[in-house]
Structure 1
Amino acid sequence: MADDRFPPGTRVRTFHHDPPHHTRLPRYARGKRGVVVEAEGPAQLADVSAQGHADAPVEQIYAVRFAARDLWGEGDHHVVLDLWESYLEEDRDS
């Protein structure tokens, strides 16, 4: 696999979308800002494989840390989610 698109420490934002099919991007994390902790390796994109497609694309999965306050409006802790690369874009606004 090529170099990771988002090295540790990269500030990212998740896409804010509500697809009509299965997605592993939780609703509470859509459109939110986080920081990449590490790349966890490639895997088939669950959004596609859950639809029964054997040819689902393989993407890098990233552990992304979010402040609980940013996700739910309160909390002094962090939450780490494993997210596929196509759920993320670099956050150039922060």
Structure 2
Amino acid sequence: MSSFTAGDAVRVRPVDPVGHTRVPRYIRGHVGRIVDAQGQWPLADDRAAGITEPRVETVYTVAFPARELWGEGTHEVTVDLWESYLERAAEERA
């Protein structure tokens, strides 16, 4: 079951794990908007760590205003992210 739906404002958790992560540094801590759910997939971080039964989570396409990431731009940047990388954010921030 998915925790987020299209249009939800989410913040990328500002994590800096010791091992592998698929969370790009340039989006950590930033607020975006859920575009769509892409189904459930094994968590890449767990697979890279050699966990034989990785957690399976929903992967979301999240759109970020370019101006929030780079300080300029009128377009959006989309990134596919596992659910555990995300937390709810205030609607007015997205």
Taking only aligned residues, the RMSD between alpha carbons, in angstroms, comes to: 1.0
The Cα offsets for residues 21-52 of structure 1, whole Å up to 9 and x where unpaired, read as: 11001000000000000000000010111111
Task: Select the residue among 55, 78, 81 that pairs with 2:53.
Answer: 55
TM-score relative to the length of structure 1? 0.93
Whole-Å Cα distance in 1 between the matches of residues 64 and 23 of structure 2? 13
Q: Which runs of 5+ in 1 are unaligned?
A: none
TM-score relative to the length of structure 2? 0.93
Identity across matched positions, percent = 49
Higher fraction of helix: 2
Instruction: Give the corresponding residue for 1:33.
Output: 31
Task: Select the residue among 15, 21, 31 that pairs with 1:17.
Answer: 15
1:41–1:56 distance in 2 versus 1, CA, 3 Å: same
Once the two structures are TM-superposed, the CA of residue 93 in structure 1 deviates from its matched residue by: 6.4
1:68–1:61 distance in 2 versus 1, CA, 3 Å: same
Task: Select the residue among 57, 68, 71 that pairs with 2:69.
Answer: 71
- Which secondary structure does the structure 1 equivalent of 2:4 belong to? coil
Whole-Å Cα distance in 1 between the matches of residues 37 and 57 of structure 2? 11
- Which secondary structure does the structure 1 equivalent of 2:20 belong to? coil
- Which secondary structure does the structure 2 equivalent of 1:56 belong to? coil
> How many residues of Structure 1 are paired with residues of Structure 2 in the alignment?
92
Q: Which runs of 5+ in 2 are unaligned?
A: none
1:26–1:73 distance in 2 versus 1, CA, 3 Å: same
